[in-house]
Structures are given as structure tokens and as C-alpha cells.
Structure 1
Amino acid sequence: MMKALLLATSLALYAGVAHSSISISQSATDENKATIDQSNLKNLYGDWVFNGGFKDTSFSAINPNYKITQGDLLLVQLWGGVNFQETLTVDPRGNIFIPKVGPIKVLGVSNADLNELVNKSVQRVYKANVEAYVNLVSSQKVKVFLSGLVTNPGLYEGQSADSIFRFIDLAGGVRQDIGSMRNIQVKRDNELRYDIDLYDFLQRGELPVMQLQDGDVIFVGPKQGEVEIEGEVGFQGKYEIKRASAKLSDVMAAVIPNDKATHITIIEPQHNKVQTGAVKEIQALQYPLNKTDLSSIAVEPGALIKVSSQLKPTSISVDVLGEHDSEFEMVLPWGASLADLLEKVEFNKLSNDSAIQLFRRSVARRQKEMLDASLSSLEQTVLTARSNSVEAAQLREAEAKVILQWIEKARQVQPKGQVLLSEGYAPDKIILQQGDQVVIPSKRNLVMVHGEVLFPTAIAFKADMSVEDFIAKAGGANDDWDNVNILLQKPNGDFVKIEGRQLTKETLVEAGDEIFVLAKPDMKEWQLTKDIFQVIYQIAISAAVVIGI
């Protein structure tokens, strides 16, 4: 059950499943560890190519540019003075044999020209009243060796006109650590037939037209070196260098600087630090992006290319949302404070100027990082917990699946990034940033009650009502007071935990507050339920939502 805050059902369920520790097979733990290890790898330009997009689709024989080869099956039909229909195989000499016509050489003929060639051959025997129609039924399958630095070298089967992408994809792709996407060779009878640079395909859509034969070898050679790119570019990571150096213009054309980019800094590779026995300082050279001929600058393997913006902002844009009569977007000088903004806001009679809210993107990102870290820690606890018997292990595995599914849902939560403006804060000390959102809440004469109550609802505010009174108006708590936790949220986003005598205190609740009734976790397995409850609190405070099951 989802509401502004979903609380009760998920907590009750977690209290139930958390009674025992959980046992998961070692393979699940290893798989999780492998995923974490992979996330630490640097992006490699082009590493998105071999993810299965080629291996599942083979060549279509209707391609008009396909060249007929040995083993292809052709459907030959003659009509008129002679009736003949048969599927013929192109023999090792590249011929098909039609009775009373003889052998016809079709090797190397394009699919588009096949019918015309056979018609001419037939008409040399039958001068009139005989027509021919030839159709390529299926092309010959070939077996090709994948060698060199692919993930799974071996012998792979496909159509003769399949691209090398499909065969490399079948072999698991190029090894990212040492394999090259720019040094790929196709060999036949130990002779080089094609030398292929896959970056030509990625950057310009160019790929040589080829047909493979039985026994061909696709060899993926080692990479010669890489440069690393970071900063204001569309792609950040490593870019493979084909030779001893590369033009900076070629690298930039591939990684695409964004609109903010103004300068490029090249930090020379570490191996250039020692020269003729003398130690020299590593050089860093900077170039204006729009005033430099990038094709005249060479970069060597191991270099770091940093693309930056040297533009200093002079103003910022801040969204002003909620109940007020001002513009909804205000432009302020760089370094302006919240006090400067509030001076420009025109409040109206419905504006709650005592509960100003501030939301910031950098805070949202940090809250997301902290939430992900808490979820990862909880996941590790679930995956590594032990059981004392087979029966207990089976039970805990089922419980673990429920918790892991909840964790996956929780990972989708996006915190709001609220900067809590507590009572007595100094607005002139709050320096605004580009993209900040300031919300002026409306005055509300309602109190919302959520969670473990019979009827979650909004109740008209009365000054003489306590927290307990408002909960009673919502049908009362679903459990004893000892088994629930009470949170009171103020209009500015601040949370107050209500305990003991505070439940009956009449001055705590104010107009616009929200009351959340949360079920306490079962403490029989304290650590696991405590961890879950802490994450639920964390989501509630950062995103104003609790994920239920």
C-alpha cells in the first residue's frame, strides 16, 4: 500500500521475516562481488558494442549484394518448352549443373545478377520458348576460427556473409584489458585479406564488405596503448590509440566535447618523465578549444586529456515554487544568499513564510550515495547470514528473496535533496547555487495522519488536540503504543520523534504538520531488523516515501 509515506505494512512484514538470520549460497555472494568489481573498471570507448546485439541475428540470404559461393543452394525453375524445377548446390568449382544445358559458373556472381546470368546460359541452348528463374534459397554455412584476444577463442559457425561483429560477439567480444578494437585481421590460407579498425565503424559507420569462407581466421591483436579522457565530454574513460600517437582532433571527434567545454589540457604520460637519465617534471599543456588546430597536436599512449570549462558564472538561476506572487524563476548575482532572494519574493496571505524549504541537487546526489551505501550494507548482511540447519536455510532463503526484492525497489528511490532550514537559521549565511529550488509552502489548516492507523486521512487542525487525539480521529493505531513509533513532520521538513508523555501534550501539533505511525521492528533478531528500520527512516527523511512490499 503506497501513500505519501508507506509505512505500516512493510514494517510488519519485515518484523516477521527478520526473526532469523538468512543463509544464501556462496555463488550468490560471489556473483554480487563480481558485480561490484566490474563497476570499478574504467569505461573503454566502444565497450558497448559486444553485448549480444550481433550474435542473435544472422545474415539474410535476400541481400542483393551477396556473392554466390560454393555450397549455396539455388532453386532453379525452367518453363515453356521445358519444365524443370530443382534445388541445386553450387559445387566446389563454383558451378551448378542443369540437364541439357550443362554447367553454369555462378561463383562470385551477386545475388542481384544471378537470374540474368542463368537466363543467358539457358538461352544459348534453348533459343526460344524457354524461360528461367533462379532464387538463392540459403547460403553456405561456414566455420570460422576466432583467435587472439577475444574472450572465448574457438571455432564458430555462421553464414558466409555474416559480419565479423557477429563472430566476435559469439566469442564473447574483445578482451577489454589487452585486446584491440583497432587491430583486427581476417586471414585466409595464412594470408592477410582484411585489416579492420572497428573505430571506423563506430565513428563513421564504415565497414569493409566481405564474405567469409570455411577455415578463415579472425584474429584480434593486442592494443598498442590508450589515452584517458575526462571532463566536459560526452564520453569519459579510455580511448584506444592505434599507433605510436594520434591526432587530438580524432580523439575529440570521437568523445564529443559538450557546450561548456572551452579548454583542453594534455598531461603527458608517466613514462616520459625519465629522459636520457635525467628526471624532468611531467608537463601539462593547455589549449583553447576554439582557437587551436587540434589536428596539429599529437597525443601519446598514457596521456591524460582533460576537457574543462574556464567560464566563470556571473549569475545563477533559482526556481521559486509554491505560494507567492513573484516570478517562478529568479536570476541572482553569483554568491547571492537566501536572504537576497527572499527580499525579492512577494508573499501573499496564503504564504507560509516561516516554513521555507530549500532543495539542492548536490545534496540529493549525496543522499543517494548514502542510501545506496546503506542498501549495499544491508544486502551484504542478508547474503552472508548463516543458518544452523537445512530447514532454517530454506526458510531464510525465501525470506532473503523478499528482502532483496525490497532492496531493489529501494534503489529506485530518488532523494529530494532538501536542505533543512531549522528554526532560527540565518538566511544571509545560506549561499545559493545554480539550480537550487526554493519552495514557499501554503498555509494549511490540516493535519495529515499516515501509516499504522485504521483510516489514514487529513484532519482539521484544533489547537487543543494532542498527537494521540489526532491518531484517534484516524481510527487509532493498529497496535499497542509500545509497538509503534510516532514521527511528527513540520511544514519545513523537520522530523520530531514523539515518545511517552509527548503523545498527550496539546501544544506539539501545529497546522500543516503530518503524523506518521510506524510499526516497531521485532527485536528477536535485533541487528537485521535494526538495519532495515534505519534504511526506512533514511528513505522517509530524504525522499518522503517508504517502499512497501
Structure 2
Amino acid sequence: VQIVFLFGQTNQQMPLPPTGAEPQTPILYREYDTVPLALEQPIDPENYVLGPGDRLRINISGGVFEEPITGEWSLENIDNYILVDPTGNLIIPRFGSLNVLGMTLADLQNEVSRRARDQIYEEAQVAVNLIRVRTFRILTYGAVNQPGFITVTPVTRLFDCLRYAKGVHKYAHSDLVYLNRDGERTPIDLKTFLAEGDLQSNPVVREGDRIYVPFNDEMATQARVFTEYNNNEVIVTGFVRSPRRLTHIPGYSARDYIAMAGGILDIGNESGCRIIRADGS
């Protein structure tokens, strides 16, 4: 579907990045394939629960010892960058496999410290650092503009999930959002978060969570009418503020798409609006 206003469009060129320029990302993050993650506050090792995809740096200093051949003093140091595998196992050189599902970062450091003192050196010093947090997928469904799975992190909050799902449908319930976790459905009052900044009303999501946004009472019986898996596009062009392609959202009218394109310019002619179907009619 195309919505056209007297066929006019801005031809704006986008600047190209300079060629031969050095990447702006610090070399440390390029080397280990990670970038700094925006956080609300520092991650607490006592509360951060590990899972598949977390990337860790484990450093074990075994103390000073004398080389048996040369007689020189050396410092034994084991430094590894390790990824938690999809089954939750961590393969630590010299220690073997360790399942970390359900363990916090602090629990892991305590366990590695215990093994290091038992197997390497009784005064071994252990440091466990979280280099990159994992990503995982959760389901958002119901009255959202793009139902399906979205990719989040262990520090993503529910309100962000709705943004990743392209926002809520115009017929969504104005007060209700449900968080399904461990077989329980909990109503979440996002308005309390937005009005008062109450973070309890905007919880951090976990693996296995499902977010459901119901339709309003008038449209609840027509939920299937406003849901489809065919992600066609609607092109809005001509004298609107921001000509663009928009994902087709069931239930939205031509006026809705014009509004999402920024509305009609002062020089636009509303009575000249045309809808061109996919077959050209």
C-alpha cells in the first residue's frame, strides 16, 4: 500500500563515513568483541546470576615459586577469557568443567578460589570479572505492534521490552501489562513507573519471561483480527514531514500512517491524498 500526497519527495543525501579512518572503538573492546553496556548502576556480584553467553575473565595467581632447573623465581599466573556455553558449563583450564547455572558472580569466585587453593596453591589469589553480559530472547505478544521474540539482556527492564516490540497497539489496554514468570501471571502498573519513577513497577526481565499486553475491553474479542504474521510495508510519500516505509499494523488507518510519518506539511493538500494498492490500483 502507498499513501501519496501529490507525488513530492525530498531527495536528501546521507553523508558517507570517511574512508581509511581508524575505528573509534577502543582496542580492548575490538579485541574481545564487546562494547561497554549502558547500566543504571554497577552490577552487584552478589546478585548477578550467570547464564549461557556471559563472558568472563578469570585470573588465578598461584604465588611465587622457584624454577627447579634454573633456580630462578617465577610467578605462576593463569589468565583466561571464557564464555559460558549454551548448557551453562564453564570450561576452566586445569579445573575442568563447572556448571554455573543458578550461581551468582560471587558464588563463582568463591568456588574457583576453593578449587585453586586445593589444586594449585593454598594462597592462590583469584579474580573473576564479568567482561560481557549475555543476551537472550523473551516473548512479547498481544496488543504490541510487532509480536514475537525480542533480544534482551539481564539488565533490560519491561518498559524497554515494549519499545523493542515497536510499542503498543493503538487498541491496547491503557492500564494493563502482564508479566508471565515461572507459571504466574503478574499485572504490572507501568503508569506508576512513568509517573513516580517506581522501579518495582518496571521490573528487570529474566530468561523464560513472557510479556502480554491485552487489547482494550471494546476490542478484546477482535484480537485475532488485529494480529498477523505477514510483515508487509506501507510507504508514505509526498508532502509529509518524514516520508518513509512503515511496517503494516493491522487495524491502522491511512490517517494513522500519515501521523506516523510526521503529518502533512503546510504545502500539502489533504484532499489530494491517494492510496495506491499493491496491484497498482
2:190 matches 1:198: yes
| 1:87 correspondence with 2:64 | no
Residues 372-431 of structure 1 deviation map (CA, whole Å, 9 limit, x = unaligned): xxxxxxx65x3239xxxxxxxxxxxxxxxxxxxxxxxxxxxxxxxxxxxxxxxxxxxxxx
Is residue 77 of structure 1 aligned with residue 70 of structure 2? no
Instruction: Tell me the equivalent position of 1:123.
Output: 117
Alpha-carbon offset, residue 61 of structure 1: 9.7
Percent of aligned positions that are identical? 25
Return the letter of the residue paired with 1:218. Answer: I
- What secondary structure sits across from 1:172 in the alignment? coil
SS in structure 2 opposite 1:179? Answer: coil
- Please tell me the residue identity of whatever aligns with 2:184: L
Give 3-state SS (helix, strand or coil) of 2:214's partner.
strand
After TM superposition, give the deviation of residue 59 of structure 1 in Å: 5.4
* Superposed counterparts of 1:7-406, under 5 Å: 25-26=6-7, 62-64=42-44, 65-81=47-63, 82-111=76-105, 114-187=108-181, 191-192=183-184, 194-204=186-196, 205=198, 206-207=200-201, 209-213=203-207, 216-223=209-216, 382-384=267-269
**Deviation, structure 1 residue 70:** 1.9
Cα separation, partners in 2 of 1:184 and 1:59, compared to 1, 3 Å? farther
Residue type of the alignment partner of 1:68 = L
CA contact (8 A) 2:172 2:213 kept: no
Aligned pair count reads 179
Given the superposition, is the C-alpha separation of residues 132 and 203 from structure 1 closer, same or farther in structure 2, using an over 3 Å criterion? same
User: Which structure 1 segments of 5+ residues have no match?
Assistant: 1-23, 29-56, 226-378, 386-549
AA aligned to 1:89 is L
Q: Distance in 2 between matches of 1:138 and 1:60?
A: 16
**Retained in 1: the 8 A contact 2:193–2:202?**
no
1:168 is displaced (CA, Å) by 0.6
**CA displacement at 1:77 relative to structure 2:** 1.1
Normalised TM-score (structure 2): 0.52
Report the secondary structure of 1:383's partner residue.
Answer: coil
CA deviation profile, 1:171-197 (whole Å, cap 9, x unmatched): 122224333442322356xx3365422
Partner Cα distance (1:135, 1:169) in 2: 30
The one-letter code matched in structure 2 to 1:86 is N
State the Cα distance separating 1:92 from its structure 2 match: 4.1
Gap change, CA 1:142 and 1:27, over 3 Å in 2: farther
Report if aligned partners of 2:173, 2:217 keep a CA contact under 8 Å in 1: no
Give the conservation status (yes or no) of the 8 Å contact 2:62–2:120: no
Q: Tell me which residue corresponds to 1:353.
A: none
Shift of 1:111: 3.7
CA distance in 2, matches of 1:78, 1:61: 27
C-alpha displacement of 1:202:
3.1
8 Å contact kept, 1:148–1:219: yes
Shift in alpha-carbon separation, 1:208–1:168, aligned structure 2, 3 A:
closer
Cα separation, partners in 2 of 1:75 and 1:211, compared to 1, 3 Å: farther
Separation (CA, whole Å) in 2 of partners of 1:61 and 1:135: 16
How far apart are residue 62 of structure 1 and its match?
4.8
Residue 200 (structure 1) shift: 3.7
Q: Quick check: which one's helix share is greater? A: 1
Give, as a single letter, the amino acid of the residue that structure 2 aligns with 1:197.
D
Per-residue Cα deviation, 1:420-454 (whole angstroms, up to 9, x for no partner): xxxxxxxxxxxxxxxxxxxxxxxxxxxxxxxxxxx
Listed one character per residue, the Cα deviations across residues 246-273 of structure 1 (whole Å, up to 9, x for unaligned) are: xxxxxxxxxxxxxxxxxxxxxxxxxxxx
Between structure 1 and structure 2, the one with the greater Rg is 1
In the TM superposition, structure 1's runs of 4+ consecutive aligned residues that sit over 6 Å from their partners are none
Q: State the Cα distance separating 1:72 from its structure 2 match.
A: 1.0
Q: Which letter does structure 2 place at the counterpart of 1:167?
A: C
Cα offset for 1:90?
1.8
Contact 2:159 2:202 in 1 (8 A): no
* Gaps in structure 2 of 5+ consecutive residues: 10-36, 64-75, 219-264, 271-281
Deviations 1:292-326 (A, max 9, x none): xxxxxxxxxxxxxxxxxxxxxxxxxxxxxxxxxxx
Residue type at the aligned position of 1:384? N
Distance 1:93 1:109 in 2: 14
What letter is aligned with 1:141? T
Shift in Å at residue 127 of structure 1? Answer: 4.6
1:69 is paired with a residue whose SS is coil
**Distance (whole Å) between structure 2 residues aligned to residue 133 and residue 121 of structure 1:** 13
Higher relative contact order, structure no. (Cα contacts within 8 Å, ≥ 6 residues apart): 2
User: After alignment, is 92-101 or 158-167 more displaced?
Assistant: 92-101
Distance in 1 between the 2:192 and 2:85 partners? 36
Q: CA deviation at 1:211?
A: 4.0
Deviation for aligned residue 1:27:
7.2
CA distance in 2, matches of 1:212, 1:167: 12
Tell me by how many angstroms 1:88 deviates. 1.3
Distance between the aligned counterparts of 1:73 and 1:193, measured in 2? 32
Contact 1:73 1:87 in 2 (8 A): yes
* Structure 1 residue 132: Cα displacement: 1.3
Change in Cα spacing, 1:86 to 1:118, as seen in structure 2 (3 Å) is same
Match for 1:201: what amino acid?
Answer: F
